Chain A
Amino acid sequence: MKTYFLGFPRAARLTVALLLMVLVSACSKKAPIAPPPPPAPAAATPAAPAQQRPVVADFSIEPSSIERGQSAVLRWSVTGANDVSINNGIGTVTAMGNQRLTPANTTTYTLTANGPGGQAMANATVTVTGPAAPPPPPPPASRGAGTLESRIQSDLRDVLFDYDSNNIRDDARAALTTDADALKRIFADFPNATVVVEGHCDERGSAEYNLGLGDRRSTAARDFLTQLGVPAGRLKTISYGKERPVCTESDESCWQRNRRAHFSVGQ
């Protein structure tokens, strides 16, 4: 058996249709793009040419709440500024970029943008929850100065590569020769230590291909070091492809910094 019912009056149908249109258009609204800030108040000296203050289109940290030890990504996008800086040790940055941070406590980052039209500032806060970090273990007994980590950081230089290449350039040859001597000293001071040779790539090739390219770079650097007498068993290789960039600007100076072999503490 079917249920029959009377048709709606035409006016009611129209209302429903209109309502539907409103609903549909409301639902299809796109991502919440931050609206531009209201225009700057009129300048005190009307004679001066109307120069716009820098505009901070985006300054956010995500996630805005993390557990202690986790990381969050700070992102910014500024227009009309000559000089953009962020406090809390980040310093001068490009107009658009992002950085992964692991703050120990709840931190408010302040972005300051200076341009021909004045200054603009914005804040972003990340809330850090969870128990306070336990004290670190005592430093390992070492005959040399500093920890293994600090020695790797201070004594070893990154090895740089050309685009889509794992060839050891002349400057890389010089860096690796210095690194080989430094590694021998580090291994003498830390007889049980291993060091990881990380291979990295710039952002331009595909992520999948860059995993392989990064592996070739770390292997090329490792092979060069072992030829100079660094014990092969103390070196491990790993490729991060383009997953762990040291900077994220899209220009050659940043790309070059990312096309590298980098040293870190082995497990």
Chain B
Amino acid sequence: MTRKFTLLLVTAFALLGSAIALAQDIQAWITGAGGKPALAVVDFRGAGAAQPLMAAFNSTLFDDLQGSGVFDMKSKSLFPLNNPQRPEDLRAEDNNQGYALADWAGSPTNASHLVFGYTAAQNGALVLYGDVYDTRQSNLQSAQLMAQRYAGSLDEAGAIHVAHEFANDIIQKFGGSGSLLGSRIYFVSDRSGNSEIWAMDWDGNNQKQMTSLKSISIMPSVSPDGSRLAFTSYAKGTPRIMIVDTLTSRLLPFYNQEASLNANASFTPDGKQIYYVSTAAGLPQVYVAALDGQGFRRISHRDAIEAEPKVNPKNPSLMLFVAGPGGQQIYEMNSDGVGVQKVTNGEGEASNPSWHPDGQHIAFSWTRGYAKGDFNVFVMDIGTRQFVQLTHSEGRNENPVWAPDGRHLVFASTRNGRSQIYTMLADGSQVKQLTMQGTNRFPVWGVK
């Protein structure tokens, strides 16, 4: 009896141990392997008419760099007394007063890189001179990584614009892939009285209503080039797929099959086809069609309820979808409908798969470990099936979708009451609430 119990205990610990070991691998992926550059970003000052704009400039520059998740941002309170404003200000030696790179590399700042510069009003425009130096190099020539010049309008918008541009170039310089600059988040809001499709900048600014169908319009999906949205709408009675041009908000034609349900549209990585679910043959099953809905073809013939077909961004012959009944789970399948395999392990209910741009990882929502309906955001390595939980039961957390940079996620959460749209870094940190008004759901992240 006792021996049996001990054996059980040992087995349990062994299983726990291997689970932790597995979790660490994917953990390393989401936090980014290796150390991050340690960035000291001084407060830039402006000459003359530029100075009143610098509060907006400095907070934008800092927030963009910090929000990228690429850097370890050093605290300004630890900086030396002075800082260079131009490359000419740099000295070989300054006794920790701030004009030497070594002053920034050493304690207490411990920065690997120094970002400095200044702005000035020049011919009615705001000009930014921005420099980035490697603090660990003694040769100033080889220490200089960037010396850039940017121009914007001489107002706060111009100051924010040049800060975004400079931050974006720094992020690119340090290998941050795919910029968020100009990217947009599309979502569903009922703040106008009906569920309509809305758009906003990725930081939550400029929230605008795109559709006015005065019906139920839900589940948007954005094309890879950001030019079109496909969504599901009850505007014509039964749920049907509609396409809208993101620039003009004009509806584009899409042929819906004769069926009680056409829904859950998503674009292929080349942007030339749309996968969706239709009950044209009775059961809700996966179909593919051209962008205008013509030439449709059934992919799956399974006796199930299928939803959310999502084609792999790197391998168009591989797709994910969700199916039930009996506890909805995520499955993978070849795009010709064969080779169906369970991706989630059958625990709880899983939904909302979203491919990472690398085609190797997915974000999804899962109730594993919680009551039915209590979804949390998870990230999984699709090859090894290792997963990490990013949210921890603060309300329902659903519809995680990767940003074009592959480092951020947007998702919907009821953590503060009604469902709202949030972004976070892929390691679960830096959670930001983007919407406040009404109930906001179904976010997707487009390159524009």
Which A residues have a C-beta under 8 Å from some C-beta of B? 2-3, 5, 7-8, 10, 16-17, 19-20, 23-24, 27, 30-32, 58, 62-63, 66, 70-73, 75, 77, 163-166, 203-209, 211-213, 215-216, 218-219, 236-240, 243-244, 250, 267
Partner pick for A164 among B192, B232, B324, B436, CB 8 A cutoff = B324
Tell whether, in the assembled complex, residue A212 and residue B261 are in contact, meaning their CB atoms are under 8 Å apart: yes
In the complex, which residues of chain B have a beta carbon less than 8 angstroms from the beta carbon of A16?
43, 54-55
Is B224's CB within 8 Å of the partner chain A? no
Top 3 A-B pairs ranked by shortest CB distance? Answer: A204-B373, A212-B284, A206-B351
Tell whether, in the assembled complex, residue B322 and residue A209 are in contact, meaning their CB atoms are under 8 Å apart: yes
The count of residues in chain B whose C-beta lies closer than 8 Å to any C-beta of chain A is 66
In the complex, which residues of chain B have a beta carbon less than 8 angstroms from the beta carbon of A215?
260-261, 279, 284
Partner pick for A206 among B45, B122, B375, CB 8 A cutoff = B375
In the complex, which residues of chain A have a beta carbon less than 8 angstroms from the beta carbon of B168?
none
In the complex, which residues of chain A have a beta carbon less than 8 angstroms from the beta carbon of B264?
208, 211
Is B263's CB within 8 Å of the partner chain A? yes
Tell whether, in the assembled complex, residue B307 and residue A206 are in contact, meaning their CB atoms are under 8 Å apart: yes
- The smallest C-beta distance from B224 to any residue of chain A, in angstroms, reads 20
Tell whether, in the assembled complex, residue A70 and residue B193 are in contact, meaning their CB atoms are under 8 Å apart: yes
In the complex, which residues of chain B have a beta carbon less than 8 angstroms from the beta carbon of A163?
372
Of B130-138, B325-333, B386-394, the one touching chain A: B325-333
Is B207's CB within 8 Å of the partner chain A? no
Known A20-B55, A243-B195; judge A209-B436 contact (CB<8 A).
no
Which B residues have a C-beta under 8 Å from some C-beta of A? 43, 45, 47-48, 54-55, 58-59, 76, 81-82, 85-86, 120, 122, 129, 190-195, 216, 218-219, 232, 237-239, 260-261, 263-264, 277, 279, 282-284, 305-308, 322, 324-328, 349, 351-352, 365, 372-373, 375, 398, 416-418, 433, 436-439, 441-442
- A selection of 11 A-B contacts at a CB cut-off of 8 Å is A19-B55, A20-B59, A58-B417, A164-B324, A164-B325, A164-B327, A206-B307, A206-B322, A208-B308, A238-B238, A239-B260
Partner pick for B373 among A203, A212, A218, CB 8 A cutoff = A203
Tell whether, in the assembled complex, residue A213 and residue B372 are in contact, meaning their CB atoms are under 8 Å apart: no
Tell whether, in the assembled complex, residue A239 and residue B193 are in contact, meaning their CB atoms are under 8 Å apart: no
In the complex, which residues of chain A have a beta carbon less than 8 angstroms from the beta carbon of B122?
3
Tell whether, in the assembled complex, residue A211 and residue B433 are in contact, meaning their CB atoms are under 8 Å apart: no
Q: How far is the CA of A34 from the CA of B282 in the complex (A)?
A: 49
Tell whether, in the assembled complex, residue A10 and residue B55 are in contact, meaning their CB atoms are under 8 Å apart: no
Please name the residue on chain A nearest to B190 by beta carbon.
A73
Tell whether, in the assembled complex, residue B261 and residue A211 are in contact, meaning their CB atoms are under 8 Å apart: yes
In the complex, which residues of chain B have a beta carbon less than 8 angstroms from the beta carbon of A165?
325
Q: How far is the CA of A17 from the CA of B373 in the complex (A)?
A: 47
In the complex, which residues of chain B have a beta carbon less than 8 angstroms from the beta carbon of A58?
417
In the complex, which residues of chain B have a beta carbon less than 8 angstroms from the beta carbon of A7?
45, 82, 85
In the complex, which residues of chain A have a beta carbon less than 8 angstroms from the beta carbon of B327?
164
In the complex, which residues of chain B have a beta carbon less than 8 angstroms from the beta carbon of A203?
373
Please name the residue on chain B nearest to A62 by beta carbon.
B438
Please name the residue on chain A nearest to B149 by beta carbon.
A2
- The smallest C-beta distance from B441 to any residue of chain A, in angstroms, reads 7
Q: Please report whether the interface of chain A is mostly helix, strand, loop or mixed according to DSSP.
A: mixed
Tell whether, in the assembled complex, residue B120 and residue A3 are in contact, meaning their CB atoms are under 8 Å apart: yes
In the complex, which residues of chain A have a beta carbon less than 8 angstroms from the beta carbon of B373?
203-205, 250
Tell whether, in the assembled complex, residue B433 and residue A204 are in contact, meaning their CB atoms are under 8 Å apart: no
Name the residue among A2, A7, A236 with the largest chain B CB count within 10 angstroms: A2
Q: How far is the CA of A250 from the CA of B438 in the complex (A)?
A: 19
In the complex, which residues of chain B have a beta carbon less than 8 angstroms from the beta carbon of A211?
232, 239, 261, 263-264, 277, 284, 307
Tell whether, in the assembled complex, residue A5 and residue B441 are in contact, meaning their CB atoms are under 8 Å apart: no
- The smallest C-beta distance from A25 to any residue of chain B, in angstroms, reads 11
Known A208-B308, A208-B352, A212-B284; judge A66-B193 contact (CB<8 A).
yes
A219-B279, A238-B238 known; 13 new pairs, CB 8 Å cut-off, are A10-B81, A20-B59, A31-B416, A31-B436, A166-B325, A208-B264, A209-B351, A211-B277, A213-B305, A216-B305, A219-B260, A238-B260, A267-B237
Tell whether, in the assembled complex, residue B239 and residue A209 are in contact, meaning their CB atoms are under 8 Å apart: no
Known A62-B191, A243-B195, A243-B216; judge A206-B398 contact (CB<8 A).
yes
Tell whether, in the assembled complex, residue B322 and residue A208 are in contact, meaning their CB atoms are under 8 Å apart: yes
Please name the residue on chain A nearest to B308 by beta carbon.
A208
Partner pick for B58 among A20, A219, A244, CB 8 A cutoff = A20
In the complex, which residues of chain A have a beta carbon less than 8 angstroms from the beta carbon of B191?
62-63
Please name the residue on chain B nearest to A71 by beta carbon.
B193
Partner pick for B324 among A72, A204, A213, A236, CB 8 A cutoff = A213
- The smallest C-beta distance from B260 to any residue of chain A, in angstroms, reads 5
Please name the residue on chain B nearest to A30 by beta carbon.
B433
